[in-house]
């Protein structure tokens, strides 16, 4: 458990406090908690890369904390402000597909891809924009409490729509970039694996060639031995025949 992972755990702890603050109309506190979560997200990533503290645990829990906090904020906002429903749909689709991709990497025992700089930048901008929406409210009137008093400064609706659009574009951009990087990583892994297989095949071919040379040498030696054995057998046969002829001549003389 290092410093980046501790910051990520703190981000998990902030989620229920953020939910409580928003649902009790403490929008300024909710915005501060949400913004602090975004700052810790950027900070833990920078520390992990700067001081080489990246861990497999951090690669899993860091994006999970981001997803839960962002999902919580967008769900709460979408319940109150219906135009955010489409943004919630985009966010859900992105996160579900990334979770499926993550499980696929774990199942295939592939390296888990850490967060990229553009993903951290997108997350920081999303946290900033959503913090403004949470704090200032929606529309000219902002948040209206039970007593009719405005609880937020209020943002004009056209500005809110622009913010929604920017956040949605950033979510889609981040999703596309991660999948492009994933495909590039898969291609590089496949290329490296093919190179390893080619090197192994080359080594096996060299070993097979050496075995073939040895087998040829053994075969040549066996042929030479066979030829020598045949020559010896012929010599013995010739000597035996000569002795037999001499014996036959001696027998006829007697």
Question: Hey, where are the domains in the chain?
Answer: 3-200
> Tokens 């900070």 correspond to what residue?
43
Which of the given ranges, 82-96, 100-114, 175-189, has the highest pLDDT on average? 82-96
Q: Identify the pLDDT of residue 187.
A: 56
Residue 19: band (very low, low, confident or very high) from pLDDT cuts 50, 70, 90 = very high
- pLDDT above 90 (res 235): no
- pLDDT above 70 (res 105): no
- pLDDT above 70 (res 136): no
Query: Could you name the CATH architecture of 3-200?
Result: Up-down Bundle (1.20)
pLDDT digits (tens, 9 = 90+) for 109-129: 555 555 666 666 777 777 777
Between CA 34 and CA 17 the distance in angstroms is 10
Q: Identify the pLDDT of residue 20.
A: 93
pTM over 0.85: no
- pLDDT above 60 (res 204): yes
Say if CB 77 and CB 130 are below 8 A apart: yes
Reduced to 3 states (helix: H, G, I; strand: E, B; else coil), residue 16 is: helix
Quick one: DSSP state of residue 144?
A: B
Q: Would you tell me how many other CB atoms lie within 10 Å of the CB of residue 18?
A: 23
Q: Which of 131, 146, 126 is CA-nearest to residue 18?
A: 131
Residue 17: band (very low, low, confident or very high) from pLDDT cuts 50, 70, 90 = very high
Q: Would you tell me how many other CB atoms lie within 10 Å of the CB of residue 131?
A: 20
Give the residue, 155 or 127, on which the prediction is more confident.
Answer: 127
Between CA 180 and CA 81 the distance in angstroms is 33
């Amino acid at each position: 458990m290092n410093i980046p992972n501790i910051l990520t755990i703190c981000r998990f702890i902030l989620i229920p406090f953020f939910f409580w603050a928003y649902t009790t109309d403490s929008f300024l506190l909710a915005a501060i908690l949400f913004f602090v979560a975004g700052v810790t997200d950027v900070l833990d990533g920078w520390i992990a890369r700067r001081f080489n503290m990246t861990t497999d645990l951090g690669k899993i829990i860091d994006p999970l904390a981001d997803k839960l906090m962002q999902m919580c904020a967008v769900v709460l906002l979408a319940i109150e402000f219906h135009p955010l429903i489409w943004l919630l749909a985009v966010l859900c689709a992105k996160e579900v597909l990334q979770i499926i991709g993550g499980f696929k990497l774990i199942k295939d025992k592939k390296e888990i891809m850490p967060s990229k700089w553009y993903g951290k930048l997108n997350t920081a901008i999303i946290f900033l924009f959503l913090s403004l929406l949470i704090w200032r409210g929606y529309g000219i009137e902002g948040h209206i409490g039970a007593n009719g008093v405005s609880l937020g400064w209020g943002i004009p609706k056209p500005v809110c729509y622009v913010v929604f659009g920017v956040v949605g574009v950033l979510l889609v951009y981040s999703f596309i970039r991660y999948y492009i990087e994933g495909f590039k990583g898969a291609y590089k892994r496949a290329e490296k694996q093919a190179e390893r297989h080619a090197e192994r095949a080359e080594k096996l071919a060299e070993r097979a060639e050496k075995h073939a040379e040895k087998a040829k040498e053994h075969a040549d030696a066996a042929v030479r031995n066979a030829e020598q054995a045949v020559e010896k057998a012929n010599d013995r046969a010739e000597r035996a025949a000569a002795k037999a002829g001499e014996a036959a001549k001696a027998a006829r003389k007697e």
